[in-house]
């Protein structure tokens, strides 16, 4: 990718090309009817337990032979690390992942299962970003971040195309509102680009924890705003603790996203329990924020069908049991 590529928004054609690359790798997850004209898109059912396999594989599959020989490095709190590990194994590429030392054990074990090297650093996002850049420069490896990469956004955008297709298959004619978890912004950027490019009348909303609402503030100000790591670390949604939206996704969010909803920690925990009780789905807190938005912020959405993208289900067993016990439902 060149600097000029970084300034160009991902197109609908880019996302359609990603669909073909992912056809035998990523699951076309179902669109499940939920409550009163609402639907759930459970990316927790993907082979690595989250949507991240879409962007990771799409990015690695486009590397040249020379780039593949140099290997890849990434930084991640877990789900992107697992996706890079799986994609690199499938494509025969060496990979190194930099993870925080407080990453959930289920995510660490998921990375180890695919046989890649893990380097642990402190809990702050800046630490793992700096270490990954250092490794890339020292060893000549390709850096593939979790969000700030056009090819990653292309892959995540395939979710949006599936939503549009599946609503049509179900005979849903009214433009939907689509709720997407937002951390650094790669998922929301891809989904919003795909949905709004095919259904201009649709609305797309990011959903994030109130304790890590840097994207809402950034959208309100019209420029990326950085929150201290000590603040974003307070949320249980470990996959959404980025301190500021990444530059490339943020350009897409400003163009295509209609608003940002915020939910509190108790609402996220309740959404985990609702998913288990009503939809028989296991969600991690980060994957449940969009469902929390659907359950507790419906009055902030336009009338009509609503789709909540459930981004992942990689949660430690003990933590999951605790969330179910503490839920207020």
Can you tell me whether residue 125 is helix, strand or coil? helix
Per the model's pLDDT, the better-predicted residue between 128 and 279 turns out to be 279
- pLDDT category at 4 given cuts 50, 70, 90 is very low
**37 backbone dihedrals φ, ψ, rounded to 5°:** 75, 20
Q: Please check the confidence at residue 36 and state whether its pLDDT lies above 60.
A: yes
Give me the pLDDT at residue 7, please: 65
Q: Please check the confidence at residue 275 and state whether its pLDDT lies above 60.
A: yes
Q: Please check the confidence at residue 3 and state whether its pLDDT lies above 70.
A: no
Instruction: Please identify every residue annotated as catalytic.
Output: 52, 311
Q: Tell me the percentage of the chain whose pLDDT exceeds 70.
A: 98
15 conformational bin, left if phi > 0, alpha if psi -120 to 50, beta if neither: alpha
Give me the pLDDT at residue 95, please: 97
264 conformational bin, left if phi > 0, alpha if psi -120 to 50, beta if neither: beta
Q: How far is CA 64 from CA 76, 133, 139, 240, 282, in A?
A: 23, 20, 17, 31, 37
Average pLDDT over residues 253-259: 98
Tens of pLDDT, residue by residue over 92-120, are: 999 999 999 988 899 999 999 999 999 99
Contact status, residue 15 vs residue 194, Cβ threshold 8 Å: yes
Considering the chain, what is the average pLDDT of its residues? 95
Average pLDDT over residues 252-263: 98
Q: In this structure, what token pair is assigned to residue 162?
A: 């599936």
pTM of the model: 0.95
- pLDDT category at 124 given cuts 50, 70, 90 is confident
Give me the pLDDT at residue 260, please: 98
Tens of pLDDT, residue by residue over 307-316, are: 999 999 999 9
Q: How far is CA 37 from CA 173, 185, 214, in A?
A: 12, 27, 30
- Which residues lie closer than 8 Å to 203 by C-beta, 6 or more apart? 175, 176, 177, 178, 258, 259, 301, 302
Give me the pLDDT at residue 5, please: 47
Tens of pLDDT, residue by residue over 186-229, are: 999 999 999 999 999 999 999 999 999 999 999 999 999 999 98
Give me the pLDDT at residue 77, please: 82
Average pLDDT over residues 62-68: 97
Average pLDDT over residues 158-170: 98
Q: Which domains are seen in the chain, by residue range?
A: 3-50+149-326 (3.40.50.1100), 53-143 (3.40.50.1100)
């Amino acid at each position: 990718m060149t600097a000029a590529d970084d300034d160009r928004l991902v197109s609908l054609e880019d996302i359609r090309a990603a669909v073909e690359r992912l056809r035998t790798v990523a699951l076309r997850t179902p669109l499940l009817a939920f409550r009163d004209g609402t639907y759930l898109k459970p990316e927790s059912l993907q082979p690595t337990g989250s949507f991240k396999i879409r962007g990771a594989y799409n990015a690695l599959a486009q590397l040249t032979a020379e780039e593949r020989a140099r290997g890849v490095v990434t930084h991640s709190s877990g789900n992107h690390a697992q996706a890079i590990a799986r994609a690199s194994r499938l494509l025969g590429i060496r990979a190194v992942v930099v993870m925080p030392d407080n990453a959930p054990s289920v995510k660490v074990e998921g990375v180890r299962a695919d046989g890649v090297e893990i380097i642990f650093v402190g809990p702050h996002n800046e630490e793992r970003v700096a270490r990954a850049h250092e490794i890339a420069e020292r060893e000549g490896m390709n850096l593939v971040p979790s969000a700030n990469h056009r090819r990653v956004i292309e892959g995540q955008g395939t979710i949006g195309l599936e939503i549009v297709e599946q609503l049509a298959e179900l005979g849903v004619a009214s433009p939907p509102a689509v709720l997407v978890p937002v951390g650094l912004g790669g998922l929301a950027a891809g989904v919003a680009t795909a949905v709004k490019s095919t259904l201009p009348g649709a609305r797309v909303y990011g959903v994030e924890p109130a304790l890590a609402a840097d994207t809402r503030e950034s959208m309100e100000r019209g420029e990326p705003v950085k929150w201290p790591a000590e603040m974003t670390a307070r949320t249980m949604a470990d996959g959404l603790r980025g301190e500021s939206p990444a530059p490339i996704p943020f350009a897409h969010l400003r163009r295509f996203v209609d608003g940002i909803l915020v939910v509190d920690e108790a609402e996220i925990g309740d959404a985990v329990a609702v998913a288990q009780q009503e939809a028989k789905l296991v969600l991690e807190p980060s994957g449940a924020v969009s469902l929390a938005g659907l359950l507790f912020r419906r009055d902030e959405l336009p009338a009509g069908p609503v789709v909540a993208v459930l981004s992942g289900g990689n949660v430690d067993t003990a933590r999951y049991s605790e969330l179910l016990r503490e839920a207020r439902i």
